[in-house]
Amino acid sequence: MAFKEYLRSKMEKAFPPSSLDPDALNDPPPPYVLPAEFRQAGIQEDELEILRDYNTVMIVDDSGSMESLWDQACRALATLAIVASRYDTNGIDIHFLNHRKAGKHLKSPEDVEELFESVSPCGPTPLGECLERVTIQLLKDLDKGKSHRKTNYIVITDGRPTDDAESAIVQIARRLDKAGATLSQLGIQFIQIGSDSHARSFLESLDDDLKEKYSIRDIVDTEPYVEGEVTAARLTKLLLGGINRKIDRSS
């Protein structure tokens, strides 16, 4: 897998051989340096501080059409795990649409690689069922009046759902309203990879139409058709953009 060479280079940069020298064990750790791809994308370290206030949950489309994009998604999330763990001690969670195996509190590229190697893309795109599954505990806690950390669900997909994702999102929004949750409690951000025009139209309709159509809160943001390779920096810019738009709507 080409990702192994990528992972090795990342780890060598993060942990150079000199850092493992027994004589240097008592030295203070080197200052944190934001990965070059983040700096090149214009992301400033202080912009990332807002991630401390949120749980980040990635939902990855593992349908058959994602096979050619699997290594790309793995690389992006491996780097994102390193950066996210700097600002969120819980790390990131990764769920898949079809496979029930999930990664909880991932903080290292090895954790992400191990998870992705255990999953083979195949099957349909059951987005609605997955959203219901991954939000159920948060919604139950809110129903009981328990506080819950603000959570962003980032969905990486290349196609249109094969189930009724719209109804699932509407029910989630209504339960948030019923529980009196803050507007920033939960957000779902769709990031489309690939150029399927039907998928693009559907995802845009989730973003643009649901609030007025069903008289519910706006919990969806969509970034249709990400051209070129999906990287950790690009995912993070989109994540930050979604958070900032949510804050703007709440104020």
Note the Cα 6 to chain centre separation in Å: 21
Whole-number pLDDT of residue 196: 85
Whole-number pLDDT of residue 218: 93
Whole-number pLDDT of residue 19: 47
Successive 10-residue mean pLDDT values, the chain, 251 residues: 58 50 57 81 88 92 93 90 85 95 93 95 96 96 92 92 96 96 93 86 92 94 79 87 73 60
The pTM assigned to this predicted structure is: 0.85
Q: Tokens in use for 46?
A: 């202080």
